[in-house]
């Protein structure tokens, strides 16, 4: 019986594997380079045959294959994922700027599900979640050793349904519990565009989506009509988005031919350099760029390009440090592989990944816990075990939201030191220019 199961599974696995590889070959991957993988399929088939013959309950071959593929991708890095058909469809909807959930971008960092940033004006933002909050519990499930995919599934749900999220805030060394009502998340690329004073404009860019270049161009033209002669571009808490849209944003502020970003991977054929290809009226306009620890990926590409090309003063705190490129490879059955294929490098060849962009002028600071940093350096896998002790039994008072915006991050709404500093810099430039005239 076991031999028969093994033969059936070898046939099934080889057929499935060939179908997957043929799908990838269409995308430009040389299948001949993968021939060594076939040797390992025999071992894989043995394991599947044992499961089919000996496991206590009935199993479906497709479920086992999907599980194995998910395991392969999870083994690589936190940003590589296997996407079953329904999740691939959700991803396509998400990149269009509308999806269900609580409104946070997350990653896995130090083996913990970590908030990159809450998206502004979403339930998570209004409830009070912050960059670098570590998610330790969702409803009744302790989020220990969860993959990114698993955490996203737990956070998403029917709009209007509540989810209880327990986080550990590193800078306070404290647990917080939030009861958050899920909603359809419709992201506005540009949150705010206005003239502040003395012809200094302010533009808040929330994320890089399909319509970002078009919306940005429209907003800049509007500000131009109002007399804009300098700009504060705010990318704080902007988690990134689509690479092409981040590059298009850079083109609005760089002279034609300027290097924006280079991408390098193991396959040198995929290496690429992206340069500004537009003639733009904003290429010499005085510019200050605001960033913080919630600025990631596409935001870091923009910050790195403008900094290395000496086109903007970067002001704030060091950015998040997500400098890897994920490519989606669709498979024939409607599923897909989201795979880290390369890394971003700034025009000066500096890697963004896990380092972030260091601002020219630091305003505000991160508050790392020294005890935690020491623990991480000793053993990442065990560093945060203390966080989970008692989480299952602790009854935390829920900090349910949404809270009125005037109460949320009250100090930031009363005063914005980074924005005030940016305006002062642009004013100073004007004064200096009047001297040299």
DSSP code string of 31-87: GGGGTTHHHHHHHHHHHHHHHHHH-SS---HHHHHHHHHHHHHHHH-TT-EEE-HHH
* Residue 269 falls in the annotated catalytic set: no
Q: Is the dihedral of CA 410, 411, 415, 421 positive or negative?
A: negative
* Residue 378 falls in the annotated catalytic set: no
Cα(429)–Cα(229) distance, rounded to whole angstroms? 12
Q: Of the listed 204, 322, 335, 338, which one is catalytic? A: 322
Cα(300)–Cα(314) distance, rounded to whole angstroms? 11
Q: Of the listed 308, 335, 338, 342, which one is catalytic? A: 308
Cα(302)–Cα(103) distance, rounded to whole angstroms? 23
Q: At what angle do helices 298-308 and 243-251 cross, to 10 degrees?
A: 30
DSSP code string of 96-140: TTEEEES-EEEEEETTEEEEEEEPTTSHHHHHT--TTPEEEEETT
Q: At what angle do helices 243-251 and 212-225 cross, to 10 degrees?
A: 20
**CA angle, 82 as apex, 157 and 76 as ends, to 5°?**
120
DSSP 208: B
Cα(92)–Cα(337) distance, rounded to whole angstroms? 13
* Residue 171 falls in the annotated catalytic set: no
DSSP code string of 415-437: --HHHHHHHHHHHHHHHHHHHH-
Q: Of the listed 230, 295, 297, 342, which one is catalytic? A: 297
Q: Which residues are catalytic?
A: 297, 308, 322
């Amino acid at each position: 019986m076991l031999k028969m199961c093994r033969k059936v599974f070898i046939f099934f696995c080889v057929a499935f594997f060939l179908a997957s590889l043929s799908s990838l070959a269409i995308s430009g991957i040389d299948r001949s380079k993968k021939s060594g993988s076939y040797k390992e399929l025999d071992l894989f088939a043995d394991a599947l045959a044992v499961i089919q013959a000996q496991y206590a309950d009935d199993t479906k071959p497709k479920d086992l294959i999907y599980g194995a593929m998910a395991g392969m991708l999870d083994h690589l890095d936190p940003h590589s994922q296997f996407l079953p058909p329904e999740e691939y469809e959700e991803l396509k909807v998400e990149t269009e700027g509308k999806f269900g959930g609580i409104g946070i971008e997350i990653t896995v960092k130090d083996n913990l599900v970590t908030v990159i940033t809450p998206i502004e004006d979403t339930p998570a933002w209004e409830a009070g979640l912050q960059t670098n909050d570590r998610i330790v519990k969702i409803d009744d499930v302790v989020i220990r050793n969860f993959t990114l995919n698993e955490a996203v599934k737990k956070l998403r749900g029917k709009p209007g349904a509540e989810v209880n999220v327990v986080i550990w805030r590193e800078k306070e060394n404290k647990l917080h519990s939030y009861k958050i009502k899920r909603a359809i998340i419709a992201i506005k690329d540009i949150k705010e565009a206005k003239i502040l004073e003395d012809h200094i404009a302010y533009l808040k860019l929330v994320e890089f989506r399909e319509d970002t270049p078009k919306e940005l161009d429209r907003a800049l033209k509007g500000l131009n009509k109002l007399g804009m002669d300098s700009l504060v571009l705010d990318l704080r808490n902007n988690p990134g988005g689509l690479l092409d849209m981040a590059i298009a944003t850079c083109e609005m502020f760089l002279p034609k031919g300027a290097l924006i970003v280079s991408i390098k991977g193991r396959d040198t054929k995929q290496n690429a350099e992206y340069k500004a290809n537009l003639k733009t009226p904003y290429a010499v306009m005085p510019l200050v760029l605001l960033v913080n620890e919630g600025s990631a990926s596409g935001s870091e590409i923009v910050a790195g390009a403008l900094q290395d090309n000496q086109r903007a003063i970067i002001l704030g705190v060091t950015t998040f440090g997500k400098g890897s490129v994920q490519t989606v490879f669709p498979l024939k059955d409607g599923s897909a592989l989201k795979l880290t294929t390369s890394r971003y490098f700034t025009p000066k060849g500096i890697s963004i990944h896990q380092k972030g962009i260091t601002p020219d002028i630091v305003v505000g600071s991160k508050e790392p816990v020294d005890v935690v940093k020491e623990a991480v350096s000793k053993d990442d896998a065990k560093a945060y075990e203390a966080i989970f002790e008692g989480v299952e039994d602790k009854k935390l008072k829920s900090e349910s939201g949404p809270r009125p915006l005037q109460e949320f991050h009250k100090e930031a709404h009363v005063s914005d030191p980074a924005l005030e500093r940016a305006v002062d810099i642009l004013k100073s430039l004007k004064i200096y220019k009047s001297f040299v005239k």
